[in-house]
């Protein structure tokens, strides 16, 4: 049992390290996207980015403390976030009759648009205007930059979803185990067993 406990603790530590690292990466991409969406006055995206940042912060807490319920809220948010970014890709690539040019709801009716439409990379000075066609002679179309940003969000979200679900499954499996068998099957009073369980969680889980 001691060997099983050590294996489980080491597995959980590796999962936690990977999850926290990718959550921090997700945070960086979200902050970067929020800055450019704010400059472009795409206020709906700014608001959703802020909400996603809050969920990432809660996931960092949940992953660090092995708090399953907190981590679960992040897992439930991710499918919605992934779906919204898929919608962004569809709008900017114009797969349907709906285009980002007609989606005033993205800027909450404030005439906002992608900041890269007028501040793209490698554009001719004469083409750097505020029109939607300003990126026609640039190295990268602004639509493709927005698609890349949305794709990064989808990729990192799927990765974090898998890590979070794996961590939740492991925690649930361990919760079904008889924790007291690791310390010789002690059958003390409820308060004593509770203190031993807390010690097991502290010593077995909360070590990097």
Is 190 within a domain? no
Instruction: Please give the mean pLDDT across all residues of the chain.
Output: 76
Confidence band, pLDDT 50/70/90 cuts, at residue 164: very high
d(CA 103, CA 53): 24
Is 89 within a domain? yes
Q: How many domains does the chain have?
A: 1
d(CA 195, CA 116): 57
Top-ranked range on mean pLDDT: pick from 18-32, 82-96, 140-154: 18-32
The pLDDT of residue 1 is 57
Q: Give the contacts of 70 (CB within 8 A, at least 6 positions apart).
A: 58, 59, 61, 62
The pLDDT of residue 111 is 67
Residue (of 32, 86, 24) closest to 61 by Cα position = 24
- Residue that has been written with the tokens 């990729």 in this structure: 155
Is 92 within a domain? yes
The pLDDT of residue 207 is 36
Is 80 within a domain? yes
Is 205 within a domain? no
Go through 41-54 and write b for each residue having 16 or more CB atoms within 10 A of its CB, e for each that does not. Answer: bbbbbbebbeebbe
Is 34 within a domain? yes
Domain containing residue 16: 2-177
Is 193 within a domain? no
CA torsion through residues 178, 182, 187, 193, sign: negative
Q: Among residues of the chain, what percentage have pLDDT more than 90?
A: 32
The pLDDT of residue 122 is 63
Is 206 within a domain? no
pLDDT tens sequence across 107-162: 665 666 777 777 766 665 444 444 444 445 667 777 888 899 999 999 999 999 99
The pLDDT of residue 162 is 95
């Amino acid at each position: 049992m001691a060997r099983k406990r050590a294996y489980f603790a080491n597995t959980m530590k590796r999962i936690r390290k990977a999850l926290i690292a990718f959550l921090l990466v997700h945070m960086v991409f979200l902050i970067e996207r929020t800055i450019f969406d704010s400059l472009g006055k795409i206020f709906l995206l700014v608001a959703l980015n802020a909400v996603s940042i809050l969920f990432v912060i809660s996931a960092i807490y949940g992953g660090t403390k092995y708090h399953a319920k907190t981590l679960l809220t992040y897992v439930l948010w991710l499918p919605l976030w992934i779906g919204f970014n898929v919608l962004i890709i569809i709008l900017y690539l114009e797969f349907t009759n709906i285009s980002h040019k007609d989606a005033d709801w993205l800027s909450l009716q404030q005439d906002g648009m992608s900041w890269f439409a007028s501040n793209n990379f490698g554009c001719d000075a004469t083409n750097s205007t505020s029109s939607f066609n300003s990126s026609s002679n640039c190295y990268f179309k602004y639509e493709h930059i927005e698609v890349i940003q949305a794709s990064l969000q989808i990729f990192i979200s799927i990765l974090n979803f898998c890590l979070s679900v794996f961590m939740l499954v492991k925690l649930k499996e361990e919760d079904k185990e008889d924790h007291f068998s690791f310390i010789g099957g002690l059958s003390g009073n409820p308060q004593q067993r509770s203190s031993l369980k807390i010690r097991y969680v502290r010593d077995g889980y909360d070590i990097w």
